[in-house]
Amino acid sequence: MSGAQRTSLEWARQIAHAYRNALRAVDPDRCAKLDALARKRGQRWIAPTSIPAAAAEHGLDSVLPPKLIEQTWGIPAATLYGWKSKGLLVDRGERRAPRFLVRDVLEVQARRRTA
């Protein structure tokens, strides 16, 4: 996505990530405290979720419901539904029982963060 196509929210998130990464470089403890506060207030998008490598590799090929993806990977279910409605994510579940391939979810997230 080019800069001209980005929303104000996407720009704000990119700037927030830049500030977070700068803070983490100079004061990791303070950054960790702010990450915890952000998660507590429902803003899990700002801080990456740590997942052991073995669990991550196995989990990438899992097809999971949105709420479980939210709990495990920290990506809100509402975001997944939004990506689906924009054609960015394929629903691999059944009618009224949506499920998404974790690998697809993380690829969409990565594209949106780096666009």
Q: 2: how many CB neighbours lie within 10 A of its CB?
A: 6
Where do the domains of the chain lie? 8-41, 53-112
Render pLDDT for 9-59 as a digit per residue (tens, 0 to 9): 888 888 888 899 899 999 999 999 999 998 888 887 787 777 667 666 667
Short-list 77, 73, 78, CA closest to 110: 73
The residue count for the chain: 115
Short-list 13, 18, 23, 21, CA closest to 44: 13
What was the pLDDT predicted at 2? 47
Are 2 and 107 in contact by the 8 Å Cβ rule? The answer is: no
* pTM summary value: 0.57
Domain 53-112 class in CATH: mainly alpha
What was the pLDDT predicted at 55? 63
**DSSP per-residue letters across 51-69:** --HHHHHHHTT-EE-HHHH
Render pLDDT for 76-90 as a digit per residue (tens, 0 to 9): 899 999 999 999 999
> Model confidence at 61, in pLDDT bands (50, 70, 90)?
confident
